[in-house]
């Protein structure tokens, strides 16, 4: 299975429905979409400031924000279904469906995941990729990637704030390859999960210094 994380910044862009259409077309139960937090997470940040609650509380609320964005994605395309547990992910896979992960149930149950703002949907996409034995993790970003050459060191992307600072902690013992792709490149998957096309357009992320 592949994991594709669609950032919340894609909301409102013409690329988002194209990504959803493409992933539904080629998924066949083999693609798990991880939603970002987007404006729902922004609302959590504002609420935390106003209510002066802890980062741990905000972390739980941010997970629910990802759930909301995930439900929104599923509502945008009738070919998508949601899954909240490993069993549901497996069942949706057997049904050959396009799957959107709602993370709050699984992540809140894992006490080893830090409850702070350093752990974002990027890190959680790596967490679920490891959990389900994914082969590839693709992070779809709104920011331009023209300044990077492939492969790029993970620490470089963290320093440039393209991925969160906790991402490296979720990639110490993994068997999947991480890729970063611009939102305009949804056609990479127009013919299916093609590694060669991905290598042509995406940036491979290396755990080591380059």
How does pLDDT run across 9-44, given as a tens digit for each residue? 999 999 999 999 999 999 999 999 999 999 999 999
Domain boundaries, the chain: 2-206
Task: List C-alpha distances in Å: 139 to 17, 59, 78, 112, 145.
Answer: 16, 21, 23, 23, 12
| Mean local confidence (pLDDT), 96-111 | 97
The class level of CATH for 2-206 reads alpha beta
Total-model pTM:
0.95
User: In the predicted model, is pLDDT for residue 210 greater than 60?
Assistant: no
How does pLDDT run across 42-91, given as a tens digit for each residue? 999 999 999 999 999 999 999 999 999 999 999 999 999 999 999 999 99
How does pLDDT run across 175-192, given as a tens digit for each residue? 899 999 999 999 999 889
| Mean local confidence (pLDDT), 200-205 | 94
């Amino acid at each position: 299975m592949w994991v594709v994380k669609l950032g919340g910044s894609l909301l409102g862009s013409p690329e988002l429905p194209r990504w959803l259409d493409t992933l539904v077309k080629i998924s066949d139960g083999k693609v798990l979409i991880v939603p970002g937090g987007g404006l729902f997470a922004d609302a959590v940040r504002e609420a935390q400031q106003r209510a002066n609650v802890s980062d741990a509380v905000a972390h739980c609320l941010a997970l629910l924000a990802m759930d909301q964005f995930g439900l929104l994605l599923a509502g945008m395309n009738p070919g998508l279904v949601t899954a909240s547990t490993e069993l549901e992910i497996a069942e949706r896979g057997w049904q050959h469906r396009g799957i959107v992960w709602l993370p709050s149930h699984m992540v809140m149950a894992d006490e080893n995941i830090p409850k702070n703002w350093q752990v974002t949907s990027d890190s959680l996409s790596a967490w679920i990729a490891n959990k389900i034995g994914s082969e590839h993790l693709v992070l779809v970003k709104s920011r331009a990637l023209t300044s990077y050459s492939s492969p790029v060191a993970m620490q470089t992307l963290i320093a440039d704030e393209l991925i969160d600072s906790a991402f490296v902690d979720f990639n110490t013992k993994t068997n999947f390859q991480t890729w970063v792709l611009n939102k305009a490149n949804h056609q990479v998957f127009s013919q299916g999960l093609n590694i060669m096309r991905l290598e042509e357009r995406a940036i491979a992320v290396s755990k080591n210094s380059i």
